[in-house]
Chain A
Amino acid sequence: MNKVMSAEEVAGSLESGMTVGIGGWGSRRKPMALVRAILRSPVTDLTVVTYGGPDVGLLCAAGKVQRLVTAFVTMDSIPLEPHFRRARESGAIELTEYDEGMFMFGLYAAAHRLPFLPTPVGLGSDVMRVNPELKTVRSPYEDGRELVAVPALTMDVALVHMNRADARGNAQYLGPDPYMDDLFAKAADRTYVSCERVVDTGEFAKEGPVQSLLISRSQVAGVVETPNGAHFTDCAPDFGRDEAFQKHYARSAADPEKWAVFRERFLSGDEAAYQDAVRVWREEA
């Protein structure tokens, strides 16, 4: 059982118009190498489901996003994402905007093949106004409480980045937070895991406790080994966020001319070329 494949093969398996879930959170453990592979592919009109970060920004900048489903887009140490802002302010993308907890319930529902999960969250807020398709349900018990029926966030494909994986598709996180990556993996018809290092199954126990084995191979269609593949987002404990590069990204993204230079320098070649260009940039800085 060997599910190892390339980032190009993952991107090549996507079709325009698909719904794609992306793991991580903000600018943390994002499958950036897989996102960069999508940037190089012809796929377009994606519905992207994610706790958004620079993954969303890059996909917006490349015109790949038709609709975004999210609770926020942020780069954490830099609160606002310039490409996402431009996409919204120019009307280039459609948006489904949920509360963070509602979004999580949508993931839990999809991961467990439920049509919805009930939560009070959303009531009273303009989330209900801007999502007129959201319906409420009433508790059948004595409390009779009105709750929002958050629909399942089903997705065709999910992309997540983990610290370690084996060739079978089992995957391990070693940082302080699993984010929602196991839920994304279960919610999608097909999940691809990129990882810092492919290890033998027997090596997992040396890397972390059994509880760190977050994703089972039964949920995984393919594994991509892509060292530094979450760059420039945080991927603790393998590496932290590249704050200097993220700043450079944000500054470039805020100005079309600077963005053209950034794109040419970092995004015009394959992943190896990206990693080389980043290395050279860091040496210059």
Chain B
Amino acid sequence: MGDVTRAEVCAAACADLFRDDGEIVAAAVAGVVPMLGSRLARATFAPELLTTDGGPSLSAEPVPLGASAAVAEGWLPFRDHLWLVLNGRRHVVMGPSQIDAHGNTNISCVGDWERPSRQLLGVRGGPGNTLLNPTSYWVPKHSTRVFTAKVDMVSGVGWDRGAHEIRAVVSNLAVLDFATPGKRMRLRSVHPGVRVDDVVAATGFELVVPANVPETRLPDGEELRIMRELLDPKGLREREVPS
């Protein structure tokens, strides 16, 4: 199998986000790694999960990255996706440009909203996703610019603003969650080769750091085989998270 890469650790951590979710849609819209993670979860411990092919087809089987569904088991055009947000049988993984200690996030713009210094995407589906569905986040480059004390525009609501559930944040350095009394962000695990201090230094607010921080688990042999041979044979994951 060779050495496990950081991207593979991240993909397995993203797969773990969907543990015990049951028969819901995994909407991993944040990038290659969470999309791979959602399909890996389905191919291993969560066969009941529904996944898309990146388009409006719910695929009958988890499909390789970039492929379209050979067999569709359902149709989820944008309008139905937006209704499904209200229905709630959905867990979304988004990519924040900024995230604070309570999990409020911003993908809209940097600076003053009236006249931003950097216009980004706009709020997209962030307000609805976070208010009504379990939401997780993927950050491919953990830095103080992303993990910031205050987000400039709350496009995704955090625990302190009425979020349904901000489950966890997977970054290229660590897994973070909100399992603290005040629902503040906590360091759950650091990826192999990363020190706790590295994560603290790359985070622009005070993280809750337990006395003992475990290492993020390694994907097992079967997970590695599925990622490398079936779901991502071209290694797109490695481009998103350089080792």
Residues on the A chain within 8 Å of B132, using CB: 120-121
A71 within 8 Å of B (CB atoms): yes
Residues of B109-164 whose CB lies within 8 A of A: 109, 113-128, 130-132, 153-157, 161-163
Please state if A102 and B128 are interface contacts (CB–CB under 8 Å): yes
Complex CA gap A80/B79 in Å reads 22
Q: List 30 A-B contacts (CB under 8 A).
A: A52-B122, A72-B124, A73-B122, A74-B121, A80-B119, A84-B119, A85-B119, A89-B119, A97-B122, A99-B123, A99-B124, A100-B125, A101-B85, A101-B125, A101-B128, A102-B128, A123-B157, A123-B162, A124-B157, A125-B123, A125-B157, A126-B108, A126-B113, A126-B123, A126-B154, A176-B56, A177-B55, A177-B56, A178-B77, A179-B79
* B residues neighboring A (CB under 8 Å): 55-57, 75, 77-79, 82-83, 85-86, 108-109, 113-128, 130-132, 153-157, 161-163
Please state if B116 and A89 are interface contacts (CB–CB under 8 Å): yes
Pick the contact of B127: A127, A177, A178, A180 (CB < 8 A): A127
Minimum distance in angstroms from B97 CB to a CB of chain A:
11
Across the two chains, which residue of chain B brings its CB closest to A87? Answer: B119
**Size class of A's contact patch?**
35 or more
Residues of A77-119 whose CB lies within 8 A of B: 79-80, 84-85, 88-89, 91, 97-102, 104, 119
Residues on the A chain within 8 Å of B121, using CB: 72-74, 79-80
Complex CA gap A52/B119 in Å reads 14
- Smallest CB-CB A-B distances: 4 pairs: A72-B122, A121-B128, A125-B127, A124-B157
A226 within 8 Å of B (CB atoms): no
* A residues neighboring B (CB under 8 Å): 25, 52, 70-74, 79-80, 84-85, 88-89, 91, 97-102, 104, 119-127, 129-130, 176-180
**Contacts beyond the supplied A71-B122, A84-B119: 9 A-B pairs with Cβ under 8 Å:** A88-B109, A99-B124, A100-B82, A102-B128, A119-B128, A120-B86, A121-B132, A127-B123, A176-B75
